[in-house]
Amino acid sequence: MKIEKVCNKVFYALFFIAITTFVSCSSDDNTTSFSAVPPVAQDASEIDFTSFRASWSNVFLASGYELDVSTDPNFGSFLQGYESLAVNQLFQSVTGLSLNTEYYYRVRAIVNGVTSENSNTISVETNEEFPDDITLKSATEGNFFVGVAVSEARTNIAAYDEVYTREFSSITAENDMKMESIFTGIDGSGNIIFDWSRIDGLIDYAEANNLNVHGHTLIWHRSIPQALEDFTGTDQEFEDLIQQYINAVFTRYQGKINSWDVVNEAIDDDAGTQWRNTLFLQRMGDNYVEKCFAFARAADPNVKLFYNDYNMTFDGIKRGKVLDMVDDLLASDLIDGVGYQMHIDYNFPSREQIQEATDELVAKDVIVHFAELDVKLNAANDLTDLTDERAEAQRQKVREVVEIFNAIPQNKKYAITVWGLKDDDTWLIPENNGRPEWPLLFDESFEKKPAYLGFLEGL
């Protein structure tokens, strides 16, 4: 028994000496620290369209590891967020990647505060294509609505119908639900004359295809019926007409339209001015926005009420005015959500600007709609035909937008709505005197563009 104890003591003493000797060797005039043993990187696993799992061997006494990921086998640059990424386990999921792209990773161990040399390099290629049966609708199901701007006339065209119903879970009328499309006159008794035909057609189409409907828009300064422009009654009578109009719309479509942009683009772009100078401002006063929201809330308390505006992702002054207005409406329980129109360029605004704007909105007690998404490729008029390079840049920008939206807390998400189906239908071409543009997810032949894949990648 004593011999066994002595042997154990000798063993542990020798082990301690061996470890101490391994860790540092000293002489009279210098000290040489040991080099930590690098891990062995292992083949990637769980390879998907936009992610994979990196793994490596354990290193004795390692307190952690550092992971590098790059598209360059020489690691001259790094994937954002994956340069010396600190990891406290033997694997790491690498996400946010592109389809059909080769990546490289390596890892280092940290032992006793010393970082090892790099491991061997592992290459991995993400999958080339999403499954044939995946769609925008199936990929977002249970997460948020993915919408598209439509016209009633196009729902009756088979090629449009096939894509609308396959890819989208929500529709928004590009023009058919605006006031000028519905409010056609005023009769001799002072009652509004309505044309419900196009909006009825859209509601029937949505119900037949189990689509959500987001109403757009009740009040907008660029869609004013001539009868209102010419109205010579008192300001109070004008206001009564607006209330009559909102009541009629909400009553007719109760339980069929679940949300509405009540007021669109009411904030002026001039930094020194709060309200855009519109007919509604002139006839109803500075609080006309609040009045319209109050009319809508009273007409149907179950409808989600939105304010919608453009340039919100980069114009901090305008955004501040909008968010101040939202605070006032929230104080009276008159608003449920805000739409940030995503009419953006392939190279502007930056991801950081969009993220900052989104964070400011998420901090409010409202749900978020990334509305009217299109990504211009030819704002500088430097293209006559769409190039692969510009299409790829569009793909990355769409992916950024979707990634940012997808990271919003679940209870704050409403929808991402694409402003049109295919490139040759975009409002931007007539708006810009025929300048070529390719801002949407589908080309003129209804074929998916790289931007479509960018949307899926962002999820």
Active site residues: 265, 372
Burial-class residue 349 by CB neighbours within 10 Å (0-12, 13-18, 19+): buried
Q: Are 173 and 154 in contact (CB under 8 A)?
A: no
| 160-164, long-range: CB < 8 A, 24+ apart | 160/421, 162/446, 163/421, 163/442, 163/446, 164/209, 164/211, 164/421
Q: Are 238 and 231 in contact (CB under 8 A)?
A: yes
From residue 62, give the alpha-carbon distance in Å to each of 34, 39, 65, 108, 178.
Answer: 14, 10, 8, 10, 64
> What is the H or E stretch that residue 314 is in?
none
Sole residue written with tokens 């400011």:
360
Residue 82 CA to residue 94 CA, distance in Å, equals 8
> What is the H or E stretch that residue 214 is in?
strand 212-220
**Secondary structure (3-state) at 51:** coil
**Secondary structure (3-state) at 83:** coil
Q: Are 459 and 401 in contact (CB under 8 A)?
A: no
Residue 268 CA to residue 241 CA, distance in Å, equals 24
CA atoms within 13 A on the CB side of 226: 2
Residue 50 CA to residue 364 CA, distance in Å, equals 32
